[in-house]
Amino acid sequence: MNRQKFLQTTAAGMLGISLSSWTYADFKRAQQTVIGHGDFKYKVDFDWGSLDPNQHPVNDCHEMVQDRKGRIFMITNETKNNILIYNKSGRLLDSWGSDYPGGHGLSIHDENGTEYLYICDNNRHEVIKTTLDGRVVHVFEFPAELEQYDKPEAYIPTESCVAPNGDVYVADGYGSQYIIHYDAQGNIKNVFGGRGTEDHQFLNAHGICIDQRSGQTTLLITEREQNILKRFSLDGTFIEKYELPGAYICRPVVNGKEVYLATIWSGDKAPDTGFISVLDQKNRLVSAPGGIAPIYNEEDQLQHMKQDTQVFKHPHDVCVDEDENLYVCQWNAGKTYPIKLKRV
């Protein structure tokens, strides 16, 4: 499905109109759609990152980050241009990359005044550190020295993050479910987690990030299949978990006091669903743009979440700018470009 057809179908469903009666005015009405709850409401801009697919094609749009200059970097597993670089208005500034057929995770870290990207490639079974213009600085290869791994196919990294001291953590979210802890030079210091349902284990450790909101530095790691966000110490000790029933969350993105998570599926993992999850400083779900309003019962348990408004189709990541606008890229969404949510 091309972008125009997808946008028309999505917006038509939201507005309750048939495609046979679709008009330009209907599309403009859809662009005024406001989603979200409480203090976190957003106006939807479906066409924010639209490009000419003949010049700058995408396949799955996996993740997005913003650099100090305000530029937004997005990774796709389309090797004609693995990295697309936008300004906040949605204009393409640059593109590069043809060596990442499994381009999936994208994180950014400032190291002594210089920013670097960390790319997790599912097909290459590697994490690649690059400059912002694509020069490879270091490759974290398949960790053959670990007894937990006997072949590269068992290691499929999905996300990475960098601690304040330069240590790198890699989540093997599509592989054997371990978290691998490296020092800044790429030497393995620790490994924890693994496949399982106990608190210290994972079923799809899809995303990982550093959280310093409490004044302490910890790790937030998603367990997507169980609809759980888990907190660990930097040495890999489990601390606590936050259950988000019905929300199949991707990676956590900390901004200010909140955590934002693209929720790729909702409800009972129905296809073509999803929404955005916004957690407050107490890690309670306070807004679900595209989803139903969060409800906690008398026992303070979040009730089962599901999609409410069909804005998204498999949202895979969210990027938050300094004005608290959101940029959402999507997996398996008809090769569509990112959507912007303007906070209102």
Model confidence at 26, pLDDT cuts 50, 70, 90, reads: low
- What mean pLDDT is predicted for residues 194-215? 98
- Per-residue confidence band for 324, with pLDDT thresholds at 50, 70 and 90: very high
Over residues 120-141, the pLDDT tens digits come to 999 999 999 999 999 999 999 9
Q: Evaluate whether 305 touches 246 at the Cβ level (below 8 Å).
A: yes
Return d(Cα 299, Cα 290) in angstroms, integer. 25
Residues 77 and 178 in one domain: yes
The overall pTM is greater than 0.85 = yes
- Kindly state whether residues 183 and 303 are assigned to the same domain: yes
| Same domain assignment for residues 24 and 50 | no
Mean pLDDT computed over 297-318? 96
Sign of CA dihedral 170, 337, 322, 70: positive
Q: Which two tokens stand for residue 102?
A: 């499994």
Q: How far apart are CA 143 and CA 157, in angstroms?
A: 11
Query: What is the token pair recorded at 54?
Result: 């003949």
Number of H helices, E strands in the chain: 2, 25
* Residue 139, token pair as written in the block: 């490759």
CB 81 within 8 A of CB 100: no
What is the pLDDT averaged over residues 198-203?
98
Runs of H (alpha helix) within the chain: 3-15, 24-30
Q: How many domains does the chain have?
A: 2
Condensed to tens digits (0 to 9), the pLDDT of residues 226-277 reads 999 999 999 999 999 999 999 999 999 999 999 999 999 999 888 889 999 9
* CA–centroid distance for 1 within its chain: 23
pLDDT for residue 133: 98
What are residue 182's DSSP bridge partners? Answer: 168, 188
Residues 333 and 286 reside in one and the same domain? yes
Comparing 201 with 270, the larger pLDDT belongs to: 201
CA dist 73 and 94 (Å) reads: 9
Residue 166 sits in the same domain as residue 254: yes
Q: What is the pLDDT of residues 206-227, one digit of tens each?
A: 999 999 999 999 999 999 999 9
Give yes or no: residues 125 and 1 share one domain: no
Alpha carbons 259 and 280: distance in angstroms, whole number: 7
Q: How many CB atoms lie within 10 A of CB 187?
A: 9
Widest CA span in the chain = 61
Q: Above 90 in pLDDT, residue 3?
A: no
Domain co-membership, 85 together with 217: yes
pLDDT of residue 92: 98
pLDDT score recorded for residue 271: 85
Dihedral sign for Cα 36, 39, 43, 46, please. Answer: negative
Asked if 105 and 222 sit in the same domain, the reply is: yes
Q: What is the pLDDT of residue 268?
A: 87
175 band by pLDDT with thresholds 50, 70 and 90: very high
Q: How many alpha carbons fall within 13 Å on the CB side of residue 172? A: 27
Cα dihedral 81/210/89/39 (nearest 10): 140
For residues 7 and 121, membership in a common domain is answered with no
Residues 57 and 15 in one domain: no
Complete edge-to-edge strand list for the sheet that includes strand 34-37: 34-37, 40-45, 339-343, 326-330, 315-320
Sheet holding 258-266, edge to edge: 247-255, 258-266, 275-279, 285-287
Percent of the chain with pLDDT strictly greater than 70? 91
Higher-confidence residue: 344 or 19? Answer: 344
Give 209's contacts (C-beta < 8 A, 6+ positions apart). 107, 161, 219, 220, 251, 252, 253, 254
Q: Could you tell me which of 109, 52, 105, 113 has the C-alpha nearest to residue 83?
A: 105
1 has a pLDDT exceeding 80: no
Domain of 198, CATH number, reads 2.120.10.30
Res 18 pLDDT > 50: no
24 pLDDT above the threshold of 90 = no
Same domain assignment for residues 194 and 282: yes
pLDDT at residue 111 is higher than 90: yes
Query: Would you state the pLDDT for residue 28?
Result: 52
Q: Does the structure show a pLDDT above 50 at 12?
A: no
The pLDDT of residue 318 is 98
Alpha carbon distance 65, 160 (integer Å):
13
12-21 average pLDDT score: 43
Q: Which tokens is 228 given?
A: 């759980």
Report angle CA 249, 156, 131 to the nearest 5 degrees: 90
165 shares its domain with 302? yes
* Residue 19 belongs to domain spanning: 1-32
pLDDT greater than 60 at residue 6: no
